[in-house]
Amino acid sequence: LHLEEKYLQPETKEVNGILMTKMISDNWDKIWNFQAKPNDLLIATYAKAGTTWTQEIVDMIQNDGDLQKCQRASTFDRHPFIEWTLPPPLNSGLDLANKMPSPRTLKTHLPVQMLPPSFWKENAKIIYVARNAKDCLVSYYHFSRMNKMVPDPGSWEEYVENFKAGKVLWGSWYDHVKGWWHAKDQHRILYLFYEDMKEDPRREIQKILKFLEKEVSEEVLDKIIHHTSFEVMKENPMANYTTLPTSIMDHSISPFMRRGTAVSSPDPMALTTAGTQPSLGEVAGIPLPATTVDNW
Protein backbone atom coordinates (compact mmCIF):
# COMPACT_ATOMS: atom_id res chain seq x y z
CA LEU A 1 0.00 0.00 0.00
CA HIS A 2 1.52 3.26 -1.10
CA LEU A 3 -0.17 6.62 -0.87
CA GLU A 4 1.37 9.40 -2.85
CA GLU A 5 2.46 12.40 -0.85
CA LYS A 6 -0.31 14.56 -2.30
CA TYR A 7 -2.99 12.32 -0.84
CA LEU A 8 -1.61 12.60 2.68
CA GLN A 9 -3.21 15.26 4.88
CA PRO A 10 -5.78 15.77 2.12
CA GLU A 11 -7.53 18.90 1.03
CA THR A 12 -11.09 19.34 2.23
CA LYS A 13 -14.22 20.46 0.40
CA GLU A 14 -17.76 20.82 1.68
CA VAL A 15 -20.74 18.79 0.45
CA ASN A 16 -24.08 20.39 1.40
CA GLY A 17 -22.29 22.46 4.03
CA ILE A 18 -20.55 19.43 5.60
CA LEU A 19 -16.77 19.27 5.55
CA MET A 20 -15.42 16.21 3.70
CA THR A 21 -12.16 15.30 2.07
CA LYS A 22 -11.93 16.70 -1.45
CA MET A 23 -11.88 13.14 -2.78
CA ILE A 24 -15.20 12.34 -1.11
CA SER A 25 -16.63 15.63 -2.30
CA ASP A 26 -15.54 15.07 -5.89
CA ASN A 27 -17.04 11.59 -5.82
CA TRP A 28 -20.26 12.64 -4.13
CA ASP A 29 -22.73 11.76 -6.92
CA LYS A 30 -21.55 8.16 -6.92
CA ILE A 31 -21.76 7.96 -3.14
CA TRP A 32 -25.24 9.49 -3.02
CA ASN A 33 -26.41 6.97 -5.64
CA PHE A 34 -24.97 3.97 -3.81
CA GLN A 35 -27.33 1.00 -4.02
CA ALA A 36 -28.07 -0.47 -0.62
CA LYS A 37 -29.69 -3.91 -0.34
CA PRO A 38 -32.43 -4.96 2.05
CA ASN A 39 -30.12 -7.37 3.88
CA ASP A 40 -27.28 -4.86 4.34
CA LEU A 41 -26.37 -3.93 7.89
CA LEU A 42 -24.98 -0.42 8.29
CA ILE A 43 -22.91 0.70 11.27
CA ALA A 44 -23.24 4.48 11.46
CA THR A 45 -21.37 6.73 13.87
CA TYR A 46 -19.84 10.12 14.30
CA ALA A 47 -16.05 9.65 14.01
CA LYS A 48 -14.43 8.19 17.13
CA ALA A 49 -17.67 7.08 18.75
CA GLY A 50 -16.75 3.39 18.94
CA THR A 51 -17.18 2.30 15.32
CA THR A 52 -14.37 -0.25 15.31
CA TRP A 53 -15.55 -1.72 18.60
CA THR A 54 -19.09 -2.14 17.27
CA GLN A 55 -17.75 -3.61 14.02
CA GLU A 56 -15.84 -6.27 15.96
CA ILE A 57 -18.88 -7.13 18.10
CA VAL A 58 -21.08 -7.44 15.01
CA ASP A 59 -18.50 -9.56 13.16
CA MET A 60 -18.17 -11.89 16.16
CA ILE A 61 -21.96 -12.25 16.31
CA GLN A 62 -22.26 -12.90 12.58
CA ASN A 63 -19.51 -15.53 12.79
CA ASP A 64 -20.93 -17.21 15.92
CA GLY A 65 -17.84 -16.32 17.91
CA ASP A 66 -15.40 -17.94 15.47
CA LEU A 67 -12.15 -16.04 16.12
CA GLN A 68 -10.44 -17.46 13.04
CA LYS A 69 -13.13 -16.06 10.76
CA CYS A 70 -12.91 -12.65 12.41
CA GLN A 71 -9.18 -12.68 11.72
CA ARG A 72 -9.77 -13.01 7.95
CA ALA A 73 -8.94 -9.35 7.26
CA SER A 74 -8.49 -5.95 8.85
CA THR A 75 -11.59 -4.13 10.08
CA PHE A 76 -11.58 -1.76 7.10
CA ASP A 77 -11.58 -4.64 4.60
CA ARG A 78 -14.23 -6.65 6.41
CA HIS A 79 -16.71 -3.76 6.43
CA PRO A 80 -16.51 -1.26 3.56
CA PHE A 81 -16.55 2.38 4.65
CA ILE A 82 -18.95 3.53 1.95
CA GLU A 83 -18.03 7.21 1.49
CA TRP A 84 -14.28 6.77 1.99
CA THR A 85 -12.66 7.65 -1.32
CA LEU A 86 -9.05 6.94 -2.20
CA PRO A 87 -7.10 7.40 -5.42
CA PRO A 88 -6.92 4.28 -7.62
CA PRO A 89 -5.46 1.68 -7.43
CA LEU A 90 -6.38 1.88 -3.75
CA ASN A 91 -9.81 0.53 -2.91
CA SER A 92 -12.45 3.09 -2.15
CA GLY A 93 -15.33 2.12 0.10
CA LEU A 94 -17.77 2.01 -2.80
CA ASP A 95 -15.58 -0.37 -4.79
CA LEU A 96 -15.19 -2.69 -1.81
CA ALA A 97 -18.92 -2.59 -1.10
CA ASN A 98 -19.92 -3.23 -4.70
CA LYS A 99 -17.56 -6.22 -4.89
CA MET A 100 -18.71 -7.74 -1.62
CA PRO A 101 -21.17 -10.64 -1.62
CA SER A 102 -24.33 -10.21 0.48
CA PRO A 103 -25.12 -10.08 3.30
CA ARG A 104 -22.86 -7.07 3.71
CA THR A 105 -21.96 -5.09 6.79
CA LEU A 106 -21.04 -1.52 5.91
CA LYS A 107 -19.70 1.49 7.78
CA THR A 108 -20.45 5.20 7.47
CA HIS A 109 -19.82 8.47 9.29
CA LEU A 110 -22.32 10.40 7.18
CA PRO A 111 -24.80 12.65 8.94
CA VAL A 112 -28.32 11.30 8.59
CA GLN A 113 -29.46 13.76 5.92
CA MET A 114 -26.58 12.67 3.69
CA LEU A 115 -27.11 8.93 3.89
CA PRO A 116 -27.64 7.53 0.37
CA PRO A 117 -31.46 7.30 0.08
CA SER A 118 -31.38 3.66 -1.06
CA PHE A 119 -30.76 2.68 2.60
CA TRP A 120 -34.16 4.11 3.53
CA LYS A 121 -35.83 2.73 0.44
CA GLU A 122 -34.53 -0.79 1.07
CA ASN A 123 -35.22 -0.53 4.81
CA ALA A 124 -31.75 -1.83 5.69
CA LYS A 125 -30.93 -2.29 9.38
CA ILE A 126 -28.74 0.38 10.92
CA ILE A 127 -26.83 0.39 14.20
CA TYR A 128 -25.97 3.92 15.32
CA VAL A 129 -23.50 4.47 18.17
CA ALA A 130 -23.23 7.82 19.96
CA ARG A 131 -20.42 8.82 22.32
CA ASN A 132 -20.30 11.95 24.45
CA ALA A 133 -18.86 15.02 22.74
CA LYS A 134 -15.92 15.46 25.05
CA ASP A 135 -14.47 12.01 24.47
CA CYS A 136 -15.19 12.21 20.73
CA LEU A 137 -13.39 15.54 20.59
CA VAL A 138 -10.32 14.33 22.46
CA SER A 139 -10.19 11.06 20.54
CA TYR A 140 -10.69 12.83 17.19
CA TYR A 141 -7.88 15.27 17.97
CA HIS A 142 -5.36 12.53 18.74
CA PHE A 143 -6.57 10.45 15.79
CA SER A 144 -6.07 13.42 13.46
CA ARG A 145 -2.49 13.74 14.69
CA MET A 146 -1.63 10.10 13.99
CA ASN A 147 -3.69 9.49 10.81
CA LYS A 148 -2.26 11.16 7.72
CA MET A 149 -5.40 10.43 5.68
CA VAL A 150 -7.26 13.24 7.46
CA PRO A 151 -6.31 16.93 7.73
CA ASP A 152 -3.81 18.05 10.36
CA PRO A 153 -5.76 19.11 13.49
CA GLY A 154 -3.55 22.12 14.28
CA SER A 155 -3.19 23.10 17.93
CA TRP A 156 -5.51 21.73 20.61
CA GLU A 157 -7.05 25.19 21.11
CA GLU A 158 -7.73 25.55 17.39
CA TYR A 159 -9.14 22.07 17.21
CA VAL A 160 -11.59 22.63 20.06
CA GLU A 161 -12.95 25.68 18.25
CA ASN A 162 -13.22 23.86 14.93
CA PHE A 163 -14.95 20.90 16.56
CA LYS A 164 -17.47 23.11 18.33
CA ALA A 165 -18.18 24.96 15.07
CA GLY A 166 -18.58 21.67 13.18
CA LYS A 167 -15.63 22.54 10.97
CA VAL A 168 -14.16 19.04 11.03
CA LEU A 169 -14.65 16.08 8.69
CA TRP A 170 -18.27 14.84 8.76
CA GLY A 171 -19.42 18.10 10.28
CA SER A 172 -20.95 18.92 13.61
CA TRP A 173 -21.05 16.28 16.34
CA TYR A 174 -24.17 17.97 17.73
CA ASP A 175 -26.13 17.78 14.48
CA HIS A 176 -24.96 14.20 13.89
CA VAL A 177 -26.11 12.60 17.15
CA LYS A 178 -29.28 14.66 17.09
CA GLY A 179 -30.16 13.95 13.46
CA TRP A 180 -29.75 10.22 13.86
CA TRP A 181 -31.66 10.30 17.16
CA HIS A 182 -34.69 11.73 15.41
CA ALA A 183 -34.39 9.29 12.50
CA LYS A 184 -34.53 6.28 14.79
CA ASP A 185 -38.28 6.50 15.28
CA GLN A 186 -39.03 6.28 11.58
CA HIS A 187 -36.53 3.61 10.54
CA ARG A 188 -34.95 0.32 11.59
CA ILE A 189 -32.23 1.93 13.71
CA LEU A 190 -30.75 0.55 16.92
CA TYR A 191 -29.35 3.62 18.72
CA LEU A 192 -26.61 2.71 21.19
CA PHE A 193 -24.27 4.66 23.46
CA TYR A 194 -20.56 4.03 23.87
CA GLU A 195 -20.95 4.77 27.59
CA ASP A 196 -23.60 2.05 27.95
CA MET A 197 -21.33 -0.40 26.15
CA LYS A 198 -18.55 0.39 28.62
CA GLU A 199 -20.89 0.10 31.58
CA ASP A 200 -22.42 -3.24 30.64
CA PRO A 201 -21.13 -4.83 27.43
CA ARG A 202 -23.23 -7.96 27.98
CA ARG A 203 -26.46 -5.96 28.08
CA GLU A 204 -25.56 -3.94 24.98
CA ILE A 205 -24.36 -6.97 23.00
CA GLN A 206 -27.68 -8.64 23.84
CA LYS A 207 -29.46 -5.63 22.33
CA ILE A 208 -27.43 -6.09 19.15
CA LEU A 209 -28.21 -9.82 19.09
CA LYS A 210 -31.92 -9.12 19.36
CA PHE A 211 -31.75 -6.45 16.64
CA LEU A 212 -29.91 -8.86 14.34
CA GLU A 213 -32.35 -11.64 15.23
CA LYS A 214 -29.46 -13.86 16.27
CA GLU A 215 -29.00 -16.16 19.23
CA VAL A 216 -25.73 -17.38 20.70
CA SER A 217 -24.95 -19.62 23.67
CA GLU A 218 -23.79 -18.10 26.98
CA GLU A 219 -20.36 -19.49 26.21
CA VAL A 220 -20.18 -17.68 22.87
CA LEU A 221 -21.52 -14.50 24.45
CA ASP A 222 -18.72 -14.63 27.04
CA LYS A 223 -16.23 -15.15 24.24
CA ILE A 224 -17.56 -12.13 22.34
CA ILE A 225 -17.35 -9.95 25.45
CA HIS A 226 -13.77 -11.00 26.06
CA HIS A 227 -12.60 -10.71 22.46
CA THR A 228 -14.11 -7.24 22.04
CA SER A 229 -12.76 -5.78 25.28
CA PHE A 230 -10.48 -2.79 24.85
CA GLU A 231 -7.44 -4.69 26.16
CA VAL A 232 -7.86 -7.61 23.76
CA MET A 233 -8.73 -5.46 20.73
CA LYS A 234 -5.73 -3.23 21.39
CA GLU A 235 -3.48 -6.25 20.81
CA ASN A 236 -5.42 -7.53 17.78
CA PRO A 237 -3.69 -6.43 14.55
CA MET A 238 -6.87 -7.13 12.56
CA ALA A 239 -8.76 -4.61 14.72
CA ASN A 240 -6.20 -2.03 15.85
CA TYR A 241 -5.23 -0.51 12.48
CA THR A 242 -1.56 -1.50 12.80
CA THR A 243 -1.65 -3.31 9.44
CA LEU A 244 -1.46 0.11 7.75
CA PRO A 245 2.02 1.52 7.11
CA THR A 246 3.31 4.11 9.58
CA SER A 247 3.36 6.67 6.76
CA ILE A 248 -0.45 6.54 6.98
CA MET A 249 -1.09 5.88 10.64
CA ASP A 250 1.72 6.49 13.09
CA HIS A 251 0.83 4.76 16.34
CA SER A 252 3.93 6.18 18.01
CA ILE A 253 2.26 9.63 17.83
CA SER A 254 -0.93 8.24 19.38
CA PRO A 255 -2.22 4.66 19.17
CA PHE A 256 -5.53 4.07 17.38
CA MET A 257 -6.62 2.16 20.49
CA ARG A 258 -5.74 5.05 22.76
CA ARG A 259 -7.63 4.89 26.08
CA GLY A 260 -11.01 3.37 25.42
CA THR A 261 -12.64 4.96 28.43
CA ALA A 262 -15.79 6.97 29.10
CA VAL A 263 -15.92 10.52 30.40
CA SER A 264 -16.13 9.42 34.04
CA SER A 265 -12.38 8.86 34.05
CA PRO A 266 -10.71 12.28 33.90
CA ASP A 267 -8.61 13.04 30.87
CA PRO A 268 -6.19 15.95 31.30
CA MET A 269 -6.69 17.05 27.71
CA ALA A 270 -10.45 16.99 27.95
CA LEU A 271 -10.53 18.87 31.24
CA THR A 272 -9.43 22.05 29.49
CA THR A 273 -12.98 22.28 28.14
CA ALA A 274 -14.76 20.96 31.22
CA GLY A 275 -17.79 23.05 32.08
CA THR A 276 -17.81 24.92 28.81
CA GLN A 277 -19.40 22.21 26.66
CA PRO A 278 -23.06 21.30 26.90
CA SER A 279 -23.69 17.61 27.54
CA LEU A 280 -24.93 15.30 24.82
CA GLY A 281 -28.27 15.18 26.58
CA GLU A 282 -28.64 18.95 26.86
CA VAL A 283 -27.80 19.52 23.23
CA ALA A 284 -29.85 16.85 21.59
CA GLY A 285 -32.63 16.27 24.10
CA ILE A 286 -31.42 12.71 24.50
CA PRO A 287 -31.89 10.79 27.76
CA LEU A 288 -28.37 9.92 28.82
CA PRO A 289 -26.92 7.25 31.08
CA ALA A 290 -25.78 8.90 34.32
CA THR A 291 -22.14 8.05 33.73
CA THR A 292 -21.86 10.57 30.91
CA VAL A 293 -23.59 13.42 32.69
CA ASP A 294 -21.41 13.10 35.80
CA ASN A 295 -18.02 14.77 35.60
CA TRP A 296 -18.92 16.64 32.45
- Where on the chain is the footprint of ligand A3P (CB under 6 A)? 45, 48-53, 135, 139, 142, 228-230, 233, 257-260
Nearest distance, CB of residue 267 and ligand A3P, angstroms: 8
Q: Is 176 a catalytic residue?
A: no
User: Order of strands, edge to edge, in the sheet holding 105-108?
Assistant: 105-108, 41-45, 125-130, 189-193
User: Cβ of residue 265: shortest distance to ligand A3P, in angstroms?
Assistant: 10
Amino acid type, 193: F
Choice between 118 and 295, CB closer to ligand A3P: 295
Are 183 and 108 contacting, i.e. CB atoms less than 8 angstroms apart? no
Cα 91 vs. chain centroid, distance in angstroms? Answer: 19
Query: Closest CB to ligand A3P among 45 and 85?
Result: 45
For the CB of residue 165, give the shortest distance to ligand A3P in the complex, in Å.
Answer: 21
52 vs 92, which CB is nearer to ligand A3P? 52
Q: Of the two residues 132 and 162, which places its CB atom closer to ligand A3P in the complex?
A: 132
CB nearer to ligand A3P: give 37 or 207.
Answer: 207
Catalytic residue among 79, 109, 142, 176: 109
Among positive and negative, which fits the CA dihedral 217, 54, 281, 134? positive
Measured from the CB of residue 195, what is the shortest distance to ligand A3P in angstroms?
10
Cα–Cα distance between 24 and 18 in angstroms, integer? 11
Determine phi and psi for 19, rounding to 5 degrees.
-70, 130
C-alpha angle with apex 194: 284 to 112, nearest 5 degrees?
50
For residue 22, give every residue at least 6 positions away whose Cβ sits within 8 Å of its Cβ, in sequence order, or none: 10, 11, 12, 13
Hey, how many other C-beta atoms are within 10 angstroms of the C-beta on 189?
19
Positive or negative torsion for Cα 210, 212, 215, 219 = negative
Half-sphere exposure of 47 (CA within 13 A, CB side): 23
Shortest distance, position 89 Cβ to ligand A3P, whole Å: 25
Closest to ligand A3P by CB, 165 or 232: 232
Nearest distance from C-beta of residue 198 to ligand A3P, angstroms: 6
The DSSP bridge partners found for residue 14 are 19
Q: Which residues are catalytic?
A: 109
